[in-house]
Structure 1
């Protein structure tokens, strides 16, 4: 009896071993055949093939490095600005001592200087992180070619950074529109600032453009070049604002509209997270869950910086409306969301033990941030 059981398991082990051997042989056969063919060729043939292989390895090595190394990523980077120490709203004239150094120097120069915009600084620096401190992944050639023809966003590999960058860019684009339409002008009495207008136009450019395209066919300017131009235009606007040659309107109704736009944007993202969480569960095997998660994360990352800057730019409004506590609570809610950084994004059950639902968690934090913003808006509107 015991011998029969032992023989049975031995046969199973042998069958498994043969199966694994066949699988390995099937996998390595193309490489062995290519190696044999390559070994019989002349160096006139071997040389170009070797060069192409080296080029491919170099391209993919660079692509892998760029997708895995997140330079400048720091959810607490806004702390370095020390915006809480600002006492003058954006666009308003600074006291002589603060603007020119005080004493005899101030009297000698007699130059007006105004407070620059923290929002504009945040937008410029977020874009700088996306395209200067890092490669813009979405327009890289290998990202556009996909994984053996499959869009990288439909795979679980090497697309998290691209989704994060696009999330940050979503916040940047929305903010640039508000800068042009309301914040960077006195409504009804001043024209649109040309630097902000140019920055918005460049930031709205296609996120996937490479040096060459098929629709339309021909050579193109790649996406990062447009975004770098936008950075220059934003910094030029802030220099003009510091010299009192530009406008930044810090009225309460402008802040209300700005918060409305951000709340609506986050509401749309929360709906996307909810839909994916409820209708496409797959635990660790949902290949689109990481895209949704890191896009939302990048959007919150960007809006955290922008609203931290808004707290400095609209400091007078916040003081007059006694918004300090709820404003700080809103920023704390952003910080709580940005502490969620799973190694592998899972889209499982909300009560799952092994495969939790990170999308549900991120959706909850996104809605809580939106709820705080709605409360801020209601206080401002009283």
Structure 2
């Protein structure tokens, strides 16, 4: 009695096997045809083609390696700076009792030095991580070519690191603007610092320029070169500041403006995440969810270091206005957001029970951080 049932399932599995075989044959047919054609050619034709294929494979190996290996990535990177050991704010004259005592013994005046800006140091180091410790993915040729012409951002592959780098770069760009407009000058009574001005201009350069482009036959300066120049200019500014030849204006109104700009910046990101979460909740099948997530993650990663550094640069203002507890809480929340590192980003429904909603979770952390920034700004403005 079981023979007809067994025979039925045998026919079903045989049909499935033939279907899979046909699909595999269809996929492999172009490659087999090309391989047969290649074997029939003379070496004068095989040689250049073989070299070209090796170069192409080498490019793709390098591309895959750079997109998957995140050098220098460390959510606890702020600990390496030891900001708690800072005794003075940025830009003020350094007081070193040992140097003063030695100078008095030799009757020689001690060289005047000032405190470097932690914000500038962290900003420069974030650029260094993006373009020196790692390759800048967004302007790599194979990233620009995409997947058979389809932008990698529209696929689930090879775009997470690029989005993370762009998020970090967004925090760096915002900070560079504030350094030029307010922090690096006495507002209304001093000119714009030339080093900071150059850094701002270079870091605002577009993120996707390679050596050549479709709009011109002439060679171009690629994006990473501009960003490296911006990093060097930031370090020049801090060297000048340390020699008391530059200005860092650590007033409370400058801190208010800085916090306001950052709150607006991450508020814009929160709106982008909300839009994606509400109207494109395709769960694990939303191929743009990872772009939004890792951009926001990179932005918070950058601001975690920059705001921690601002706490050192504006330490006197923070303590004098009594916002130290909420400042520390904001830093803790920024660090907590960096604990979210899912292997696959899912943009499920908020009331769903199968697929998680990582975008909504990231949006929650962003709004908490923004709320604290707004509260600190309001306290400082009273």
**TM-score over 0.5 for the pair:** yes
| 2:319 is the counterpart of 1:319 | yes
CA distance in 2, matches of 1:369, 1:292: 18
State the partner residue of 1:122: 122
- 1:266-345 equivalences under 5 Å are 266-345=266-345
State the partner residue of 1:104: 102
Per-residue CA deviations over 1:50-76 (Å, capped at 9, x if unaligned) read 001100100000000000110111111
| 2:22 is the counterpart of 1:22 | yes
State the partner residue of 1:93: 93
- Displacement of 1:102 in angstroms is 4.4
State the partner residue of 1:173: 173
Q: Secondary structure at the match of 1:41?
A: coil
- 1:35-184 equivalences under 5 Å are 35-97=35-97, 101-105=99-103, 108-184=108-184
State the partner residue of 1:239: 239
Q: Secondary structure at the match of 2:247?
A: coil
CA distance in 1, matches of 2:358, 2:217: 41
CA distance in 2, matches of 1:187, 1:136: 35
State the partner residue of 1:354: 354
- Displacement of 1:219 in angstroms is 1.2
| Deviating 4+ runs (over 6 angstroms) | none
- Displacement of 1:2 in angstroms is 2.2
CA distance in 1, matches of 2:220, 2:313: 37
CA distance in 2, matches of 1:133, 1:109: 41
Q: Secondary structure at the match of 1:257?
A: helix
Per-residue CA deviations over 1:245-286 (Å, capped at 9, x if unaligned) read 001111101000000000000110001001101100111111
CA distance in 2, matches of 1:174, 1:295: 15
Contact persistence 2:120–2:234 (CA under 8 A): yes
CA distance in 1, matches of 2:184, 2:254: 10
CA distance in 2, matches of 1:215, 1:97: 60
Per-residue CA deviations over 1:212-251 (Å, capped at 9, x if unaligned) read 1122442110000001111110000001001110011111
State the partner residue of 2:252: 252
Q: Secondary structure at the match of 2:213?
A: strand
Further displaced range: 106-115 or 188-197: 106-115
Per-residue CA deviations over 1:26-69 (Å, capped at 9, x if unaligned) read 11111111111111100001001100110010000000000011
CA distance in 2, matches of 1:97, 1:231: 32
State the partner residue of 1:2: 2
- Displacement of 1:97 in angstroms is 2.4
State the partner residue of 1:369: 369
Further displaced range: 24-33 or 269-278: 24-33
TM-score, normalised via structure 1 length:
0.97
Name the Cα RMSD after superposition.
1.2
- Displacement of 1:109 in angstroms is 4.8
Per-residue CA deviations over 1:87-142 (Å, capped at 9, x if unaligned) read 211111011427xx442147635211111100000110000000000000000011
CA distance in 1, matches of 2:284, 2:21: 29
| 2:224 is the counterpart of 1:197 | no
Q: Secondary structure at the match of 2:224?
A: helix
Per-residue CA deviations over 1:144-176 (Å, capped at 9, x if unaligned) read 111110111011100000000000000000000
Further displaced range: 78-87 or 185-194: 78-87
| 2:366 is the counterpart of 1:379 | no
Equivalent residue pairs, number: 380
Q: Secondary structure at the match of 1:6?
A: helix
Q: Secondary structure at the match of 1:213?
A: coil
Further displaced range: 79-88 or 115-124: 79-88
TM-score, normalised via structure 2 length:
0.97
Contact persistence 2:100–2:110 (CA under 8 A): no
State the partner residue of 1:223: 223
Unmatched segments (≥5 aa) in structure 2: none
